[in-house]
Structure 1
Amino acid sequence: MDLAENPEACVRFDRHAVYLGTPGGRQDCPARLRGRTEALLIQPATAARSAVTENRTARTYRATADRITVTAAYGDDRGSIQRILRSAGLPVAAPETEQTAVAPVPADATSFRGEGFDACTAPSQSAMDAWRDASDYGAIGIYIGGLNRACAQPKLTAAWVRTQYANGWRFFPLYVGRQPSSDGGSCGGGCASITDPVPQGTAAADDAAKQAAALGLGKGSVIYNDLEHYTRGSTVTARVLAYIEAYTERLHQLGYRSGAYGSVSSLITDLVANVKTITPPDVIHFARWNGESTLTDPSIPAKLWADHQRIHQYVGDTTETHGGVKISIDRNRLDVD
């Protein structure tokens, strides 16, 4: 797809595609995309040398060559992506280390009380400015990584985070790692699922902390592991709880706080039932699309996650226009310190 001819096209990695050009500033992305397969984004650049980085946890290559930058996602067919990159003379045999931490924004970057929204891809600066002036929102959910993050993030950089913070925005960072099942929630059969929960949860935490630090979200920040809806049961529940516990414990070791996103009818119910037997997440981000901007729910006892430790996603997959800018979003009510 030629992005110059389709400036509002959503660059997404959950379906096979080749995107040519620079993603538009106002991509028309659905609010809820999950999954990962083989796809390429090829953009113009001014790189002086050929280089390749790979994130095995997120199943993504990033490569630079003469006048181009390539973002190459893969699902089960890493070999095909390697062959494509090799054909362009890129050194996939010895990929370099991904970007490292940058100077963090202040520690309250993930603290907020009030209305927030999340969007599949980080909006352009003009869109953020329009919504800051014309909407009631003060926080934004940003999808910082994970092998099931479907939307490209051309705007999401450390500079973008610093600018939004300076403009008064706060953040709830979401990491879309392995899922309870391949077809749950927004996955549609395309998500990599949890198979070995403890090492996979630990690896997700390592990568989530790394991605957060590269964006300037430092220690003490909350990073929410996005776990889509699933059918509860002994095997899947055990896998999910072991995964989120490993994720939480590793984030704590790295100096971050753990958040968990999920439906009240699956993840949240399982967490409530097992809160005394596992290391629970520090903050819950619960989905119940009842249209009510509240922080209580019949499935969550008032004494649990009671100290400014909740986000309620109360409307999903809707479109709003503020300041003349339309974005597909989920609506959330936050109370996080």
Structure 2
Amino acid sequence: MDLEKNPDACVRFDRHAVYLGTPGGRQDCPARLRGRTEALLIQPATAAGSAVTENRTARTYQAAADRIVVTAAYGDDRGSIQRILRSAGLPVATAQAEQAAAAPVPADATSFRGEGFDACTAPSQSAMNAWRDASDYGAIGIYIGGLNRACAQPNLTAAWVRTQYANGWRFFPLYVGRQPSADGGSCGGGCSSITDPVPQGTAAADDAAKQAAALGLGKGSVIYNDLEHYAPGGTVTTRVLAYIDAYTERLHQLGYRSGAYGSVSSLITDLVANAQNITPPDVIHFARWNYESTTTDSAIPASLWPKHQRIHQYAGDTTETHGGVQISIDRNRLDVD
């Protein structure tokens, strides 16, 4: 895909593709994509020299060479991506760890009460400015990492986060880790599933905290583990609860707060039924597309997550235009303190 000829193309890593050029400022992405496979984004750069970093948890290489920078995603075929990078003379064997933490924005960055939206890829600065001036939204969901994060994030940097915060935006960071099943629910067959929940939930928390810190979202921030819809019961429920329990416990050890995103009819059902049996997430982000902008729901007792600990995703896969800028989004009502 030639991004110069197709500037609105969505750069996505849930299908085999090679993207050449700089992603456009207004990528035409669906509101929600999940999954990961082998794909390449090759962009022009000015720096010389070769360097490679790898995030094994998120299954992504970042490589720089003479006049190019490469983002290489992989699903189950890491070897093919390594061969491609080696064929370009990139030192895969000596890949380093990813970037260090950035200076954190203030601690209220993930606190907000009001209307918010989430989009598959972080919008450009001009789009954020237009929506800030022309819409009622004040918070944005950003997909900070995870091996099932499908959309590329060319705009999502620590500088971008600082600028949005200074402009009045607040955030609900989403981490798309392992899913309840590899072939079920809305995540689809390209997702990596929960198979060994405790170490996988712990590893997800370690990586989520690292990715948040690299964006300037410091300790005390809420990081929401995105778990797509599934049919609750039996082994899948047991694995999901153990995964979220381990994720929450580890985030607490790292100084972060735990959030969990899921459907009222799957994850939230399981969390409500087992709130006394696990360490529950500090905040829930529940999906019920009933077009009611409220954080109360008949499936969630008032005694659970009662103190500004809820987000309701009340509409999804919708397209809105504000200030002349169109984005595909999900709508959310936040009450997070």
Please, what TM-score do these two structures have when normalized by structure 2?
0.99
- Range with greater deviation from structure 2 (16-25 or 184-193): 184-193
- How far apart are the structure 2 equivalents of 1:122 and 1:186? 21
How far the C-alpha of 1:255 sits from its partner, in A, is 0.1
Residue in structure 1 matched with residue 177 of structure 2 by the alignment: 177
CA contact (8 A) 1:32 1:186 kept: no
Matches within 5 A, 1:26-41: 26-41=26-41
Task: Name structure 1 gaps, 5 residues minimum.
Answer: none
Matches within 5 A, 1:192-203: 192-203=192-203
- Range with greater deviation from structure 2 (226-235 or 177-186): 177-186
CA contact (8 A) 1:259 1:285 kept: yes
Residue in structure 1 matched with residue 300 of structure 2 by the alignment: 300
Q: Percent identity?
A: 90
| 1:186 alignment partner, SS class | helix
- How far apart are the structure 1 equivalents of 2:47 and 2:196? 39
Describe the superposition over 1:38-61 as per-residue Cα deviations: whole angstroms up to 9, x where unpaired. Answer: 000000012222000000000000
| 1:93 alignment partner, SS class | helix
Residue in structure 1 matched with residue 256 of structure 2 by the alignment: 256
How far the C-alpha of 1:219 sits from its partner, in A, is 0.1
How far the C-alpha of 1:182 sits from its partner, in A, is 1.7
How far the C-alpha of 1:183 sits from its partner, in A, is 3.0
Residue in structure 2 matched with residue 24 of structure 1 by the alignment: 24
| 1:313 alignment partner, SS class | strand
How far the C-alpha of 1:233 sits from its partner, in A, is 1.3
Residue in structure 1 matched with residue 84 of structure 2 by the alignment: 84
Matches within 5 A, 1:93-108: 93-108=93-108
Residue in structure 2 matched with residue 277 of structure 1 by the alignment: 277
Residue in structure 2 matched with residue 212 of structure 1 by the alignment: 212
- How far apart are the structure 2 equivalents of 1:102 and 1:78? 29
1:330 is matched by which residue type in structure 2? D
Please, what TM-score do these two structures have when normalized by structure 1?
0.99
Residue in structure 2 matched with residue 2 of structure 1 by the alignment: 2
How far the C-alpha of 1:294 sits from its partner, in A, is 0.7
In the TM superposition, structure 1's runs of 4+ consecutive aligned residues that sit over 4 Å from their partners are none
Residue in structure 1 matched with residue 70 of structure 2 by the alignment: 70
2:169 is matched by which residue type in structure 1? W
Describe the superposition over 1:161-209 as per-residue Cα deviations: whole angstroms up to 9, x where unpaired. Answer: 0000000000000000000012334322110000000000000000000
Whether 1:167 and 2:167 are equivalent positions in the alignment is yes
Describe the superposition over 1:85-132 as per-residue Cα deviations: whole angstroms up to 9, x where unpaired. Answer: 000000101211100101100000000000000000000000000000
- How far apart are the structure 2 equivalents of 1:210 and 1:217? 10
The alignment of Structure 1 onto Structure 2 pairs a total of residues equal to 337
- How far apart are the structure 2 equivalents of 1:224 and 1:17? 28
Residue in structure 2 matched with residue 237 of structure 1 by the alignment: 237
- How far apart are the structure 2 equivalents of 1:65 and 1:185? 40
